[in-house]
Amino acid sequence: MAIFKGAGVALVTPFHADGSVNYDKLKELLEEQIAGGTDAIIICGTTGESATMSHEEHLDVIRYTCDVVNKRIPVIAGTGSNSTAEAIHLSVGAEKAGADGLLLVTPYYNKATQKGLIQHYTEIAGKVSLPIILYHVPSRTGVTMTPETIVTLCKNVPNIVGIKEASGNFSAIAQIMNLADGCVDLYSGNDDQIVPLLSLGGIGVISVLSNVAPRQTHTICESFFTGDVAKSAKLQLEAVPLINALFSEVNPIPVKAAMNMMGKEVGPLRLPLTEMEEKNQEKLKAAMQNYGIL
């Protein structure tokens, strides 16, 4: 059984002005997402600025999120690292904190071979009982997982259940699903490609857009699953200008700017991320107004 089906939000981490985690605001965001129909919370991922968190902060945020959500919807913790030992430490900690699943990005910078990727993920999976979603985002990591590697892991490691695909390579994605024989839960990692990926057998999206439009993102998926593909495609296309604006600078710079424009007061970014360029802020504001969320 899949960890979730539909739209999971890759949630931002709100910070105070001094850069510390704003837990009161995090609770507000979690409650807003649940009320907005979001199907799962993905915490401490790329959008959550996990790369700038200490291990203690990382696990504290996961623990707090699990406590607030209290099993109302699944919580999936980002616990990937380019160090296998570090990923194991975070994954074991996330399981103890109450997470329902893990999201594990491919090791970055080291540029492991396919053999190394298989060993890395197999080692982590052997230390936890939680279901694991692999995260394939070559543009950030410099590492490409082949369809064969992905399917090998999902077929041979019992608790590796799926893939967040953010490569944008639909030929490779089609090959994954051709080889999978039903063993891979496929999620879109790109908000502008939800419907095309669902058409290849995907079961949802791990979404940045959901931070500002949870109900709409959920409905894109729900409409597809209930057979109204035309409505799903229409909603997907209507969201494209906003999605483009949300990725006009590196994520999560624009989505945090958007949330602050909406009065959500999620605070600043942590260096090396910087505030959004003014010209891009104007384009983002216009896209939000046209979409009806500002």
* Neighbour-count burial for 24-48, b at 16+ CB within 10 Å, e otherwise: ebbbbbbeebbebbbbbbbbbbbbb
| Tokens coding 39 | 């199907």
**Which residues are within 8 A (CB) of 51 and not within 5 positions of it... i.e. 6 or more apart?**
none
Nearest-angstrom CA–CA distance, 39 and 202: 15
Selected catalytic residue, list 25, 121, 164, 187: 164
Nearest-angstrom CA–CA distance, 253 and 275: 6
Catalytic (active site) residue 164: yes
Task: Answer for the pair 101, 132: CB distance below 8 angstroms, yes or no.
Answer: yes
Residue 42 parent element (H or E):
strand 40-43
| Tokens coding 257 | 């700017």
Nearest-angstrom CA–CA distance, 266 and 179: 42
| Tokens coding 230 | 């035309």
Tell me: cis bond preceding 272? Omega within 30 of 0 counts. Answer: yes
**Which residues face 145 on adjacent strands?**
none
Catalytic (active site) residue 135: yes
| Tokens coding 198 | 């669902």
Nearest-angstrom CA–CA distance, 13 and 267: 9
Task: Answer for the pair 3, 184: CB distance below 8 angstroms, yes or no.
Answer: no
| Tokens coding 90 | 């975070």
**Which residues face 9 on adjacent strands?**
41, 207
Selected catalytic residue, list 121, 135, 187, 291: 135
| Tokens coding 173 | 């994605």
Active site residues: 135, 164
